[in-house]
Amino acid sequence: MDATRLLDSASPEQREAVKRVAELAVARGVRAYVAGGAVRDAFLGRPVTDIDFVVAADAIDFARGLALAHGGEIVVHDRFGTATWTIDGHRHDLASTRTERYPRPAALPEVTTGVPIEADLPRRDFSLNAMALRIDAPEVIDPLGGAADIQARRVRALHPRSFADDPTRILRAARYVVRFGFAIDPDTLAWLALGVRHLPLVSGERLKYDIERMFTERAEPALALLAEWGVFHALGVPVPEPAALRRRFEHMRAEMAHCQFPTDGLGLSPEDVVNAAGWGALIYNEGGFAISRWIDRIPFPIAVRDALVDSGPLSTLSANVLRGASVSEMSALMRGFSGAGLLLGFLYDSDALKKRAALSEWIEWRRVRPFTTGDDLRVRGLRPGPDYGRILGRLRDAWLDGEVRSVDEEVMLLGSLVTASAPGA
């Protein structure tokens, strides 16, 4: 492998970024590398989506030099001595070569920078990510056998304490096994089994990040692996059986592709819609305990959290209550749920009538309003009070149930309702 092969998989903007980093490295007399996923994907013949750089120098100062010479924006991460350079619509992370020491399981590492690249690579998670390509003088550095493991189609951790140092590597291992169709190395699996017990020490934000990465890929086999490895047991949360997860994610992808449930009014970004649906697949109909455990652990955005809370009473709402009910009665049952909560009911409830009711409430029923307003009631001599809500609600129900179909019919019904509300009536 050489630089040409990696760059052939990159976009023109990414190739230009590599060229600029190489030029600055030569000008400053430092070594610069592409490391991690880009090198791995080039070996696999996959498209290179992100190119991250490692420099044997102060990465923050190096990034500022790039911005000074070529423009773009720099975001500095002082805690780890890293920076992100955004230019031509692409984000590039720059890090100094470094070693890491974990003072205790699941803790953030203590970092020492300025080491040779050969000392930097062993800190990484798996051998397939522990390769680097020197770009100022093309050379592949692979001291830990990453290329051989890729050829053997295996995911291999680098040392026995890997999963105790960073238990989120367990989640990444599942993702890589599924993404690449690789097997997991037997020693790695044994080390992983010992590391699972440290997962409760991981922050909710870190768990959230790695689990949500699965939702954008083939989530169900990766989640099934996590269940098999005891991850959810260690976190103290129940999840559906693998077969149920498979059905849910397959159904979710099909429904989202057809766009039968409009999501643009949910107040969620497209990314959060996918994440809400993914968490719903894990949580829907699993009971209040599962909901509370996940919500206590994961820092969800408010709209996603509310949808998951809604999924409890919505999943337990008896479908028998809906059978034989009028449209207005069904709408009254659905009205209190958020739009994202209704989406989860539509995606995952097993009852067809409840699914239709959730969809109808979102796209039709909750939009129905009578033409009459509170001002109209005031003109008719009614004093503001409980009668306003009762009358307006009754008019809305009449439209939902087809009792009125025109403004004239609404006015006729309104007259009878006002008369019935008059003092002494």
Parse the chain into domains and list their residue ranges: 3-152, 167-236, 237-367, 374-421
At the topology level of CATH, where does 167-236 sit? Hydrophobic Seed Protein (1.10.110)
d(Cα 119, Cα 158) in Å, to the nearest integer? 13
Helices and strands: H and E segment counts in the chain: 23, 11
Write down how long the chain is.
425
Whether residue 279 contacts residue 300, with contact meaning beta carbons closer than 8 Å, is answered with yes
Distance CA 19, CA 4 (A): 12
Contact 133, 3 (CB under 8 A): yes
Region of 235 on the Ramachandran plot (φ > 0 left; ψ -120 to 50 alpha; else beta)? alpha
Residue 86 in 3-state DSSP? strand
| Residue 10: predicted pLDDT | 78
Strand partners, 52: 35
Residue 417's SS3 state is: helix
Between CA 23 and CA 80 the distance in angstroms is 25
Q: Is 101 exposed, middle or buried (0-12, 13-18, 19+ CB in 10 A)?
A: exposed
pLDDT of residue 4: 52
- Running DSSP on this structure, what letter comes out for residue 36? T
Residues of the chain where predicted confidence (pLDDT) is lower than 50: 1-3, 425
Task: Classify 3-152 by CATH class.
Answer: alpha beta
List CB contacts of 140: < 8 A, sequence separation 6 or more: 1, 2, 39, 131, 132, 133, 134, 147
Question: What is the model's pLDDT at position 29?
Answer: 93
pTM of the model: 0.88
Q: What is the pLDDT of residue 3?
A: 46
